């Protein structure tokens, strides 16, 4: 009886947790700041528009930042927090986050909004809007809608990035498990991986595929040999930590479905990219996204809305930070 009762309680707890996550996500609204800060969306768009004129990589920077925020503690702006007074290391101090860029842009947006609507708009919402607007900027239109109403978390721990942020070294099973743990499915995994169509990567994140992959001085056999030769010229061994390479060769500044073309040519940069071809279901999604003219943008918008609602804080949970880098006193 005790075993059965314990299992029932665990099942009930997980069910309630899932229910609460769904309820919180449903509290997000597209017009959340209509009465309290109607200028918020406009301010974000204007600053992002100005920034992207001179920083063409901003879209890649901010969407990566949003991914890394949402996969740890949910979309609560915890990745924006700084370590204070030699305290515990925060998320941005963790190895996967040390190369994140764009924090200064989030600060500029927050400062501008605070002048107009103090203590109203969360840093988590600002990040969600800024990432969308930065990726959308070249298109002169919004690529997806952003529901608002998130509140900011007060906890950020570098140790919690381990096992939560998808690794570029992960195989398919590990990737899917990480996504499933965040209420995302295999379709979301393949679609959101399409964000690798913009941006760059450091040699260390993929150099193992070029040298001594199986311990015999060989390259990853799933990597196109000609492409591997090109990468070796860019990233000689040992890898220079400052050298960067396009994630989507020839298209790293264009947000499109080109990623799926190079993936099927065995030119996916990371082990995690190549992993999408090792499962029949994910491979079929890759093929469908590659062949269809408009499917990628619609699918990406749908998956971004799901991801942006992971474990959000709403209502009286969390806070509205006055400064995105520190919790309120």
Question: Is 68 a known active-site residue?
Answer: yes
Return the half-sphere exposure (C-beta side, CA atoms, 13 A cut-off) of residue 189.
32
Q: Does 248 belong to an annotated binding site?
A: yes
| Per-residue pLDDT at 325 exceeds 70 | yes
Per-residue pLDDT band for 1 (boundaries 50, 70, 90) equals very low
Structural domains of the chain sorted by starting position, each given as residue range(s) with its CATH number in brackets: 39-199+247-308 (1.10.520.10)
The active-site residue out of 61, 68, 258, 261 is: 68
Per-residue pLDDT band for 83 (boundaries 50, 70, 90) equals very high
Q: Does 38 belong to an annotated binding site?
A: no
The predicted pLDDT at position 212 comes to 86
Whether the CB-CB separation of 219 and 235 falls below 8 Å is answered with: no
The predicted pLDDT at position 15 comes to 42
Global pTM exceeds 0.75: yes
| Per-residue pLDDT at 17 exceeds 60 | no
| Per-residue pLDDT at 216 exceeds 90 | no
Per-residue pLDDT band for 23 (boundaries 50, 70, 90) equals very low
Q: How far apart are CA 323 and CA 327, in angstroms?
A: 7
Q: Does 88 belong to an annotated binding site?
A: no
Q: Does 52 belong to an annotated binding site?
A: no
Q: How far apart are CA 90 and CA 79, in angstroms?
A: 8
- Give me 201's structure tokens: 């990567």
pLDDT tens column, 285-310: 999 999 998 899 999 999 999 999 99
The predicted pLDDT at position 25 comes to 60
Q: Does 91 belong to an annotated binding site?
A: yes
Mean pLDDT of 45-73: 97
The predicted pLDDT at position 26 comes to 62
Q: Does 136 belong to an annotated binding site?
A: no
Per-residue pLDDT band for 217 (boundaries 50, 70, 90) equals confident
């Amino acid at each position: 009886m005790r075993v059965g009762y314990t299992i029932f309680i665990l099942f009930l707890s997980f069910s309630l947790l899932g229910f609460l996550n769904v309820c919180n996500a449903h509290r997000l609204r597209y017009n959340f700041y209509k009465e309290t800060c109607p200028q918020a969306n406009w301010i974000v768009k204007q600053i992002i528009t100005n920034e992207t004129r001179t920083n063409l990589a901003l879209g890649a920077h901010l969407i990566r930042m949003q991914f890394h925020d949402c996969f740890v503690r949910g979309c609560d702006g915890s990745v924006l927090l700084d370590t204070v007074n030699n305290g515990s290391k925060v998320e941005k101090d963790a190895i996967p986050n040390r190369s994140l860029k764009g924090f200064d842009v989030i600060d500029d947006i927050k400062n501008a909004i605070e002048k107009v609507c103090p203590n109203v708009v969360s840093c988590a919402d600002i990040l969600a809007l800024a990432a969308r607007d930065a990726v959308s900027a070249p298109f002169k239109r919004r690529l997806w809608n952003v529901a608002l109403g998130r509140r900011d978390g007060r906890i950020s721990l570098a140790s919690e990035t381990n096992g939560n942020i998808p690794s570029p070294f992960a195989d398919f099973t590990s990737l899917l498990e990480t996504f499933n743990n965040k209420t995302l499915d295999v379709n979301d995994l393949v679609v959101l991986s399409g964000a690798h169509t913009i941006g760059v990567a450091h040699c260390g994140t993929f150099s193992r595929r070029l040298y001594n992959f199986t311990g015999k001085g060989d390259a990853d056999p799933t990597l196109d040999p000609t492409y591997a030769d090109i990468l070796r010229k860019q990233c000689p061994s040992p890898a220079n930590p400052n050298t960067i390479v396009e994630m989507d060769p020839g298209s790293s500044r264009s947000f499109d479905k080109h990623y799926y073309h190079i993936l099927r040519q065995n030119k996916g940069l990371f082990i995690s990219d190549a992993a999408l071809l090792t499962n029949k279901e994910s491979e079929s999604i890759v093929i469908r996204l590659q062949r269809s003219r408009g499917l990628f943008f619609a699918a990406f918008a749908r998956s971004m809305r799901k991801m942006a609602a992971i474990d959000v804080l709403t209502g009286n949970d969390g806070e509205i930070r006055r400064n995105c880098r520190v919790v309120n006193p």
